[in-house]
Structure 1
Amino acid sequence: MIRAIHLFFLLAVFACSKASIDTDTPAITPPTPTSNQIVVAADGSGNFKTIQEAINSISKKADKERVIFIKNGTYKERIYLDGIQFLTFKGESEKGVIITISEARDIWSCNPANKADWGVATVNISQSTDIVFSNITVINSYGFEASDTPITIDCPTDATGKKTVRKDGHQMALRTFSGATRLTFKNCTFRAFGGDTVSPWDGTVGMYYFKDCTMEGGVDFYCPRGWSYAENCHFICHNTSAALWHDGSANKEAKTVLKNCTFEGDKGYKLGRYHLESQFYLIDCTFSDLMADADIYAAASGTGTPLWGRRVFYKNCHRQGGNDFSWLKDNWVIESKTVNSSWVFDGKWTPQ
């Protein structure tokens, strides 16, 4: 008995010592469902086996948060949120919860039964407010799976009756529509190989907050309209045209702000561009040495000289390798600590 107690004491001391040593890699305890949550589990151990079934089971209107807890698993389904309020999707782990479809926007648009982009993305959100996604991976896998050789398909909606589809064409993991605002994404991954991976697109009232997220895609793969704030996010670009894009044409105060973000991509990837009125702020960002020597630029197909001027601002941004391009120099005097969600969203929303 004494030996057993002594062994237990030694094990306890070892565990405490190890915990005090491993300060660089603290243990992360995954969230667990509680009694007031709807549980989704692909293996049937929850209330529902699909996420959409769980969404359909709740009322659309609410004045406080409802939670759908998603257990680890791969969910091959499109998510539709239409007119939903105060709903949180909490994944068991970011790498363990995968929502995925394979869809090229060019193929989708050739089906006369499809209504514009509604359903083109893995996650589709319309007329919904106060939505939170955390610890979730969202993938549109078409470009990762498609052949390098473009294909030609029948396309009744095209004047020629045909459409050529490339593996790096538009593929959306997230697409939001009119009335979708106050959307929060924390510890989420969004992946596609083509353009417009993350497309939050209400330019009038849209407000979007991304924190500790990874976003991957092709041209304009992070392309918000309205107000958007990305904090501590990582961007991976598979295109040499542009990683970032913004449309702020509906309101002079609309802006896209990226703070403490990191960038990598294929050799020669460009940072960003705009076709419409826009406003970019990049603070404390770091770029890989493969980034091209090309400032955020006005696209040739744009609307000409912006009415509000060219608004691209940098503060304490650097390229890896210690060789900063001249256009990365500070051109903005505000202190980094001043940049928070209240500043970004003009005092209308504070998701932090």
Structure 2
Amino acid sequence: MKTNLSIWLMMCCFAITANAVAQQRITVSLKGKADYNSIQAALNSLSDSSVTTRIIYIKNGTYNEKIYLEKHNVVLEGEDRDKTIIRQSISRDEWRCLHNEDWGVATMNVDANDITLKNLTVLNNYGFENKKDKVIFCPSDTTGAQQRIIRPNSHQMALRTMNTTRLKAINCRFRAYAGDTVSPWNVQSGMFYFKDCIMEGGVDFYCPRGWAYAEGCTFITHSGEAAIWHDGSKVQDSKTVLVNCSFEGIDNFKLGRYHRDAQFYLINCSFAANMADKDIYLVPTTNTIRWGRRVYYFNCHRKNGDYIWFADNLSSANGNIDPRKIDAAWVFGNRWNPLIN
């Protein structure tokens, strides 16, 4: 009798657990059967946090939504990266004329932890749609001019994080014409993981603050003075690491720059033949660079011949680093392993 009761209790518990897990998956579709026809509506339906992951599965379509993601432990998973598109047209300069902060400046605005983006295209279409300058009334202009010129190549964010500490993006495309396309910003404690993603834009279009690891990603430059940028000015150990990544774009595109303390590692990366002969450089700045120049390369190559400035210099980094051990676990230390959590 006890054995049968134990089995019955186990089966009930399993059924309850399975049902709870099943309830964590929400489907969004613009047409056809789904729980919601809006991504934001699906997010709004969630509690602020949960010990279990909530999956919002997004079927193919173009969702003309600005996303505000403030719920913890959420996966946004598209059906197909190239066919599941979240699209908005926003100039950061124009947004800041009417708002005193960046919350809402991007297509995807994130202020939550343990977020995963998967199989999605996140598009800020402003620079592709607007080819001419425009002048707007700007009451928040600090120069007192009350007007501002909004240019097609001004800052345009597809992804902007606020206080997020842990975010993953897997097989996503982040697309804009101009700068700051991918802006995961938390210089004190941000940890950001990108795998098999495509990122494109203008100046500093991949610009993490804190700790960032990108693996197998493609970077496409449309305009501007640099593709990548980093701010590691709060914690000496913070770094941006790019492994097995490729870079391409307009003729004479420049690889990267910084104007605060930064730390770059490029491992096994490849560069298009038309990349400029220009190392990652320090922009003239009034900021104090406390920890010196920290730009490291290992086994990077350019089509049609290498430039001398990205010759292997990993041995000059602190810690006698073995390039075979440079992975996400190494970047984030004991604080987070995105391959497990």
- Normalising by structure 1, we get a TM-score of 0.86
Q: d(CA) in 2 for partners of 1:204 and 1:240? A: 27
Deviations along 1:47-73, one digit per CA (max 9) or x if unpaired, are: 001000000001011112111000001
For residues 50 and 212 of structure 1, do their structure 2 counterparts lie closer, same or farther at Cα, with a shift above 3 Å needed?
A: same
Is this contact kept in 1: 2:92–2:156, CA < 8 A? yes
Indicate yes or no: 2:326 matched with 1:342.
no
Is this contact kept in 1: 2:178–2:224, CA < 8 A? no
Q: d(CA) in 1 for partners of 2:191 and 2:246? A: 22
Q: Partner residue of 2:78?
A: 91
Secondary structure at the counterpart of residue 122 of structure 1 = strand
Q: CA deviation at 1:239?
A: 2.2
Q: Partner residue of 1:26?
A: none
Q: d(CA) in 2 for partners of 1:311 and 1:198? A: 22
Q: Partner residue of 2:242?
A: 258
Q: Partner residue of 2:140?
A: 157
Q: Partner residue of 2:175?
A: 191
Gaps of 5+ in 1: 1-33
Q: Partner residue of 2:318?
A: none
Secondary structure at the counterpart of residue 110 of structure 1 = helix
Q: d(CA) in 1 for partners of 2:198 and 2:49? A: 30
Q: Partner residue of 1:3?
A: none
Q: CA deviation at 1:336?
A: 2.9
Deviations along 1:222-265, one digit per CA (max 9) or x if unpaired, are: 00000000000000012241111000011000000000000001
Deviations along 1:158-185, one digit per CA (max 9) or x if unpaired, are: 211111011010000000112x011000
Aligned pairs for 1:197-346 (under 5 A) are 197-304=181-288, 306-321=289-304, 323-333=305-315, 334-346=321-333
Count of aligned pairs: 311
Indicate yes or no: 2:118 matched with 1:134.
yes
Is this contact kept in 2: 1:248–1:255, CA < 8 A? yes
Q: CA deviation at 1:335?
A: 3.3
Q: d(CA) in 1 for partners of 2:100 and 2:38? A: 23
Q: CA deviation at 1:85?
A: 1.5
Is this contact kept in 2: 1:276–1:302, CA < 8 A? no
Q: Partner residue of 1:168?
A: 153
Secondary structure at the counterpart of residue 127 of structure 2 = helix
Aligned sequence identity (%): 50
Q: d(CA) in 2 for partners of 1:218 and 1:240? A: 5
For residues 166 and 57 of structure 1, do their structure 2 counterparts lie closer, same or farther at Cα, with a shift above 3 Å needed?
A: same
Corresponding letter in the other structure for 1:110 = C
Gaps of 5+ in 2: 1-21, 316-320
Q: d(CA) in 2 for partners of 1:240 and 1:182? A: 29
Secondary structure at the counterpart of residue 109 of structure 1 = helix
Q: Partner residue of 2:90?
A: 103
Is this contact kept in 1: 2:100–2:140, CA < 8 A? no
2:43 to 55, 76, 90: 55
Corresponding letter in the other structure for 1:103 = I
Q: Partner residue of 1:71?
A: 59
Corresponding letter in the other structure for 1:107 = E
Q: Aligned Cα RMSD in Å?
A: 1.2
Q: d(CA) in 1 for partners of 2:286 and 2:28? A: 44
2:104 to 116, 119, 124: 119
Corresponding letter in the other structure for 1:60 = D
- Normalising by structure 2, we get a TM-score of 0.89
Q: d(CA) in 2 for partners of 1:117 and 1:144? A: 21
Runs ≥4 in structure 1, deviation > 6 angstroms?
A: none
Q: CA deviation at 1:345?
A: 0.7
Q: d(CA) in 2 for partners of 1:177 and 1:81? A: 10
Secondary structure at the counterpart of residue 285 of structure 2 = coil
Indicate yes or no: 2:38 matched with 1:38.
no
Corresponding letter in the other structure for 1:261 = C
Is this contact kept in 1: 2:24–2:53, CA < 8 A? no
Q: d(CA) in 1 for partners of 2:224 and 2:310? A: 18
Q: d(CA) in 1 for partners of 2:252 and 2:328? A: 32
Is this contact kept in 2: 1:240–1:266, CA < 8 A? no
